[in-house]
Amino acid sequence: MLFFFPDSQKPCESKENSVVRFSPQCPVDSVIVESTPVPERTSVSWTSVEDYDLQSLLGEGGFGKVYLAQHKCNGKKVAIKALKKEGIKATKQVSRLNLERSILEEAKREKNPFLVGLFASFRTEHHLCLVMDYCAGGDLDSYFKHGAFSRERAVFYAGCVVLGLQFLHTRNIIHRDIKPENVLLDSDGYAKITDFGIAIKTMGFDGKTMSKCGSCYYLAPEIFGNHGYRKSVDWWALGVMIYEMLLKQMPFNGRNKEKIFNSIINKEPKYPKKLGEDATIIIKQLLRKDPDMRIGSSERDAEEVKECSFFKELDFEALSKKQINPPFIPKQKTPGCFCKFRHPKQVVLSSEQYKPPLIFVEKAFEDFDCFVEC
């Protein structure tokens, strides 16, 4: 569950546009395209909803949904995140969305294999669409139904996350929501960090933020304080994630969120022998309550974490070049696997039933469209 605390400070073509409606079935069996005139803009082959066959619903959140789609010309499968313009504007999330888009864009331009990247972004009449990498293996959380991960898999996935965080942290970006649900497996079995919706950019190594947000079980203790926090909250979350991968249980628990928060702030996890010495050491170093004593908190950041004995058998140089055979190759899931609704309602990207967006809403997103050469 994602939390935004009450006291948080939020950073925080002469061609026509298309209105797309999906049939009630999922996967999507048919798409009805209705033309709605919009102001003329440059036509780019990736920046219109007409460029894609929309196949199924991958998931949904507060302001929109994520669809599996296939590019009509080259057959490339992508994930399209469609967000409601008015919802983003009304909740003052414009700057966050722009940062999310810029992170996705830079990840793609730099060809970083450990972050989900952006192919394009575009607008429909009522929605903002991000066209992103599609990771056919799904998220790590979905694999816990088969039990805890082997040490080999846990080391490999943690290593991928370390390299992804290194890319972000060198750019003074804190992810703030590292967890298995936000780590996806591509078709090769490599892990990619996704969901930069609450990421924030700080000013240099010592840059702090005060906004209190994140997912309950993965929050670092300093987030609850009044002195701000730095990038080391991401390393704390990695420690929780390693513990979870190896034991299929959380290090901090409680019957409600208040008890979970109390456990995070005041209690220490149990370290069963089956964790092994190397895993116990790195988890303890990542879950130090004092952020200044936590591994990864110095200016060396990820380099400190890489030196842990937990990673002694992992060649980070080879990993960064995708020269290591992943310990697990996921079966590619069919579109129908992603429909989470027994009786899905009609899915609409835009519709004539909506009033045209207000001018001030449209103006907030006038620079949103882009295409990333890759």
* Residue among 350, 341, 275 nearest 122 (CA): 350
For 77-107, b where at least 16 C-beta lie within 10 A, e where not — what string?
bbbbbbbbbeebbeeebbebbebbbbbbbbb
Please tell me the distance from the alpha carbon of residue 178 to that of residue 180, in angstroms, as a whole number: 7
Please tell me the distance from the alpha carbon of residue 196 to that of residue 332, in angstroms, as a whole number: 24
145 is in an annotated binding site: no
Which pair of structure tokens corresponds to residue 119?
């192919």
* Residue among 275, 117, 314, 297 nearest 206 (CA): 297
Catalytic member of 51, 177, 186, 234 = 177
Cβ atoms of 20 and 32 within 8 Å: the answer is: yes
Residue type, 168: L
51 catalytic, yes or no? no
CA distances from 161 to 40, 202, 263, 316, 371 (A): 42, 20, 25, 11, 26
Residue type, 264: I
Instruction: Please state the residue numbers annotated as binding site for ATP.
Output: 81
Instruction: Please state the residue numbers annotated as binding site.
Output: 81
Catalytic residues: 177
